[in-house]
Amino acid sequence: MKVVGHFINGETCTPKGRMQDVHNPATGQAEKLVLLASSQTVNDAVISAQSAFPEWRNTPVSKRARIMFAFKNLLEAHSEEIIALIGAEHGKISHDAAGELQRGIENVEFACAAPQLLKGEHSKNVGPGIDSWSEFQPLGVVAGITPFNFPAMVPLWMFPLALVCGNTFVLKPSERDPSCAIFLAKLLKEAGLPDGVFNVVNGDKEAVDSLLDNERVKAISFVGSTPIAEYIYTRANAAGKRCQALGGAKNHAIVMPDADVDNAVNQLLGAAFGSSGERCMALSVVVAVGNEVADRLVDKLQTAMLGLKVGAFDEASNDFGPVITAQHKDKVEGYITSAEQQGAQIVVDGRQISVAGYEDGFFVGATLIDHVLPQMSSYQAEIFGPVLQVIRVESMQDAMQLIDDHEYGNGTCIFTRDGEAARFFSDNIQVGMVGINVPLPVPVSYHSFGGWKRSLFGDLHAYGPDGVRFYTKRKTITQRWPSSGVREGVSFSFPS
């Protein structure tokens, strides 16, 4: 069985150590093994990055950008291989994996603008013969800890920008789908990145804690569940590191009485069930304003969902694939059962689905639950599966209060034809990313991604302008060259 190891100092390596299975979620079979890094292996990767940092930080920014241009071209040239790796280990359908990769490539394109992004500010003659300017310097060794649901895109949110800013990087991807990260590392080397500048360590909590505690690591970026995000943020801060930790979500869509229901249904299907609902931006709750629009919406959703096709990644006609593990399948189905037991109505039931030829796969069918109440556990939790719940309210104010009361504040949207309602919603809702008739308001690469409340720990969002600020520190220099022969007296007053 193939063993997926690490990538340290420009080479793949497979030191002896603990291993665990990597499953194909569609078949349910273990097809690879992944090495779980020890603290020593993590330290080796960090030392490699630290050793490469002085030369890399002094590499002209234009040269760093050219390497990213070459990397972008290689990503596009090898897109089919990357898509296949994502599908085989995550289960994501090929067209969905292609979309993930494209959004990642867009972040590489943004990073290619580093010469412009890293320009500082300059002020001449702030005082007699005194000039002042600022510049943005790299932090040193930085690390990224990324989730299973986007094995290409989320790492590409992080390391391209960190690298062009002059940092060196250690990536700890999910051990559930580790192969994509190793493939990206090899492409970076082919693009001309010097050895040691980018390293990959596969592992579990031991690897994570080793990165958090290593004094050479200056900053940590994380995407995952809220409990782990809070743990990482707290531990990183205690160690004096800069940290951005993106957590979970419960994303709501308000459907107003004046909405185009047919359009809303089409948008909701993709937003709720794409990638099997395993997205932090998945739209998992519909808040219908009024029973009339709720009844129409549920009826049309039920009809449309009967035509959804679930299966393996390499059949492009499938709409979505399996969830990541057997344990996660049980967890998702448990939330469906709990909603039923607590009084909700299961309109479309995805439990116990069987896919011909893939009977042992980790499949959950598209599920629609009506008459959900805020106190139900299925509403409170991030299910992270293909489950769409409907809550009925009497007014837009009730809908907004429901959203504001939830602990998560990642993404939300409103379906309406009323510009006044849309503007009031976007101005006042307590959520970080807002869509108007757009159910997945994921910012493009030259904006920044991040939620509010317990969906984000830290002050700076991911990628875009905030990413540049996260991976650099500002230095301000004030300079004077006195005129020849001039001697100044001593002054004890504060300069002005």
Give the CATH number, domain containing residue 69. Answer: 3.40.605.10
What pLDDT, on the 0 to 100 scale, is given for residue 298? 98
Residue 197 confidence (pLDDT): 98
Residues 66 and 196 in one domain: yes
- Domain containing 316 — which CATH number? 3.40.309.10
Q: Would you say residue 77 has pLDDT above 80?
A: yes
In a domain, 490, yes or no: no
How many angstroms separate the CA atoms of 153 and 226, rounded? 19
Please report, rounded to a whole number, the percentage of residues in the chain having pLDDT higher than 90: 95
Residues 270 and 336 in one domain: yes
| One domain for residues 256 and 233 | no
With helix as H, strand as E and coil as C, how does the chain read?
CEEECEEECCEEECCCCCEEEEEECCCCEEEEEEECCCHHHHHHHHHHHHHHHHHHHCCCHHHHHHHHHHHHHHHHHCHHHHHHHHHHHHCCCHHHHHHHHHHHHHHHHHHCCHHHHCCCEEEEEEECCEEEEEEEEECCEEEEECCCCCCCHHHHHHHHHHHHCCCEEEEECCCCCCHHHHHHHHHHHHCCCCCCCEEECCCCHHHHHHHHHCCCEEEEEEECCHHHHHHHHHHHHHCCCEEEEECCCCEEEEECCCCCHHHHHHHHHHHHHHHHHCCCCCEEEEEEECHHHHHHHHHHHHHHHCCCCECCCCCCCCCECCCCCHHHHHHHHHHHHHHHHCCCEEEECCCCCCCCCCCCCCCCCCEEEECCCCCCHHHHCCCCCCEEEEEEECCHHHHHHHHHHCCEECEEEEECCCHHHHHHHHHHCCCCEEEECCCCCCCCCCCCECCEECCEECCCCECHHHHHHHCEEEEEEEEECCCCCCCCCCCCCCCC
Q: What is the predicted pLDDT for the residue at 484? A: 74
Claim to verify: residue 295 and residue 165 sit in the same structural domain = no
Determine the average pLDDT of the residues in 175-192: 98
Q: What is the mean pLDDT of residues 418-428?
A: 97
Same domain, 178 and 315: no
What number is the average pLDDT over the span 168-191? 98
Find the angle CA(174)-CA(176)-CA(182) to the nearest 5 degrees: 60
Instruction: Say yes or no to pLDDT of 230 above 80.
Output: yes
Evaluate whether residue 450 is within a structural domain. Answer: no
Share of the chain above pLDDT 70, in %: 100
Is 443 among the domain residues? Answer: no
Q: What is the pTM of this model?
A: 0.95
| AA letter at 90 | H
The reported pLDDT for the residue numbered 210 is 98
Does residue 207 belong to any structural domain of this protein? yes
Q: Supply the range of the domain harboring residue 310.
A: 251-436
Q: How many domains does the chain have?
A: 2
Q: Are residues 54 and 140 in the same domain?
A: yes
pLDDT value of residue 258: 97
pLDDT digits (tens, 9 = 90+) for 125-145: 998 889 999 999 999 999 999
pLDDT tens for 283-315 read: 999 999 999 999 999 999 999 999 999 999 999
* Whether residues 230 and 307 fall in one domain: no
- Supply the pLDDT for residue 449: 94
Residue 204 lies in a domain: yes
At residue 496, the pLDDT reads 72
Pairwise CA distance, residues 286 & 403, whole Å: 11
Both 150 and 166 in one domain: the answer is: yes
Rg (CA), the chain: 25
pLDDT mean over 220-227: 97
Q: Which residues are catalytic?
A: 280
Q: Is residue 494 part of a domain?
A: no
Residue 74 belongs to a domain: yes
Do residues 262 and 199 both lie within one domain?
no
Residues 406 and 341 occupy one common structural domain: yes
Q: Across residues 260-267, what is the average pLDDT?
A: 96
Residue 185 exposure: Cα atoms within 13 Å on the Cβ side: 30
pLDDT of residue 495: 76
Whether 381 has a pLDDT exceeding 90, the answer reads yes
Per-chain mean pLDDT for the chain = 96
**Same domain flag for 284 and 239:** no
pLDDT for 482: 80
* Count of all residues that appear for the chain in the document: 496
Shared domain for 331 and 237, answered yes or no, is: no
Residue 234 has pLDDT above 90, yes or no: yes
Strand pairing partners for 212? Answer: none
